[in-house]
């Protein structure tokens, strides 16, 4: 990830409501949530305000949307979030940290879907 992309993504998340949206959608995984449920989870954010924040995150490349019936479903883009973590941790310990290297490798594999129990080494 280039520095300009990281700045744009971190800038988009540097507002409380947008950070809460990203964190909520990370919890929900690849299935995401309809916009109305996101608003409800955030304490009843108005639809116009929610739309503003969702668009801001989408333009920063952190969220994607899809139509499902009459609903618009928003999901976090996990590879982008993994790239942000890797951007921050890439040179940890002068680039010689086995723990961070392992974590970056695992984040790069995340698609926002649960893995089967026992498939990921919990000793990062």
List, in order of start, the domains of the chain with CATH numbers: 3-77 (1.10.10.10), 79-109 (no CATH)
If you average pLDDT over every residue of the chain, what do you get? 86
Residue 105 is predicted with a pLDDT of 80
* H or E element, residue 33: strand 33-34
**Distance of alpha carbon 77 from alpha carbon 13, whole angstroms:** 14
Instruction: Please report where in the chains the tokens 């899809």 appear, as a residue.
Output: 66
Query: Taking residues 51-76, what's their average pLDDT?
Result: 95
pLDDT at residue number 122: 43
> What does the angle CA 20 – CA 26 – CA 29 come to, to the nearest 5 degrees?
145
What is the Cα–Cα distance from 17 to 15, expressed in whole angstroms? 6
Identify which has the larger pLDDT, 115 or 49. Answer: 49
**Predicted confidence band of residue 115 (pLDDT cuts 50, 70, 90):** low
pTM here?
0.82
Give residue-wise pLDDT tens across range 87-104.
888 777 777 777 777 877
Separation CA 52–CA 49 (nearest Å): 5
Q: How far apart are CA 32 and CA 112, in angstroms?
A: 9
């Amino acid at each position: 990830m280039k520095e300009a992309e990281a700045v744009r993504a971190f800038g988009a998340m540097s507002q409380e409501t947008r950070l809460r949206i990203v964190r909520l959608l990370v919890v929900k995984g690849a299935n995401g949530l309809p916009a109305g449920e996101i608003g409800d989870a955030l304490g009843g954010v108005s639809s116009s305000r929610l739309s503003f924040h969702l668009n801001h995150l989408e333009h920063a490349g952190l969220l994607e949307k899809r139509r499902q019936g009459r609903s618009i479903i928003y999901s976090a883009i996990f590879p982008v979030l993994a790239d942000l973590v890797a951007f921050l941790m890439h040179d940890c310990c002068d680039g010689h940290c086995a723990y961070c290297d392992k974590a970056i490798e695992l984040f790069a594999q995340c698609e926002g879907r649960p893995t089967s129990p026992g498939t990921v080494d919990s000793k990062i």
